[in-house]
Amino acid sequence: MLSEIVKLALAEDIGTGDVTSEACVPEDRQARGKFIAKEPLVLAGTEVLQQMYDNLTLHRHNGHELQPGDLIAEVEGKARRLLACERTALNFLQRLSGVATLARAYARAVEGTGCKVLDTRKTTPGLRHLEKAAAAAGGVTNHRIGLWDAILIKNNHIEAAGGVRQALNGAFATGLPVEIEVRTLAELEEALAAGARHLLLDNLTPEQAREWVTRIAGRATIELSGGINLTNIRAYAETGADYVSSGAITHSATARDISFQLIWGR
């Protein structure tokens, strides 16, 4: 899958050819290139470089914290090839390092609470595996990869199934991990009575979440979601919940500044 993603990304940028490099750079010219951090960041995306370059030396690895001027990787080869790959390589590195950097901030915000941070499926279409790998490199826990590997019953599923118990009965029959969202105390008690052992509590305030956690009293694993950000995540983590999730880790990460420096000759 990764090789196909990289191939598509390069084809999108290069198209029928890098006309600038072909017009300006001799075909046999050799060069070296360096990827350098320009601001503090948590590195992610080096697996993409391994797909793009045959002659690659990695000096830092996913999850490493870098400072401005730190050398990430060096590549060698035909100058035209290095120039043609430059923008695509940087786009991947900058985007994925942005996710990893934000994920590290979320993970640190809950340190000492016993609560873990989960990522979500709110990812860039086609880049989910890469963005979830970046989130993990930053220190958060990957949740569902897609709709196929675990069951998460949301309010619309409950409505379509005809109720909490009906939805759970169908889900349990699959043998997959099952989590269910409950919106009211009545749904909460019905879910627990039906055998739910993993609950999603959405859009509660920290104060409300603490009350619900106390009411559940260890009868199920608890995830909190909805409006959770770096400003309030500590308050949610301190409610006693097992997990807090935030889509912002992937959908709102800001790309980090990384440069590519080309050096002529070997």
What are the sequence ranges of the domains in the chain? Answer: 2-106+253-264, 112-251
- Let me know if 70 is a catalytic residue: no
User: What is the mean pLDDT of the segment spanning 161-178?
Assistant: 96
Q: Which residue among 76, 202, 238, 242 is the active-site one?
A: 202
In percent, the amount of the chain with pLDDT more than 90 equals 98
Q: Which residue among 29, 60, 81, 87 is the active-site one?
A: 87
- Let me know if 154 is a catalytic residue: yes
- Let me know if 38 is a catalytic residue: no
- Let me know if 189 is a catalytic residue: no
Q: Which residue among 181, 187, 190, 223 is the active-site one?
A: 181
* Whole-number pLDDT of residue 1: 86
Q: Which residue among 29, 121, 154, 165 is the active-site one?
A: 154
* Whole-number pLDDT of residue 265: 54
* Whole-number pLDDT of residue 264: 78
Q: Report the length, in residues, of the chain.
A: 266
2-106+253-264: CATH number: 3.90.1170.20
- Let me know if 202 is a catalytic residue: yes
Tens of pLDDT, residues 104-118: 999 999 999 999 999
CATH superfamily ID and name for 112-251: Aldolase class I (3.20.20.70)
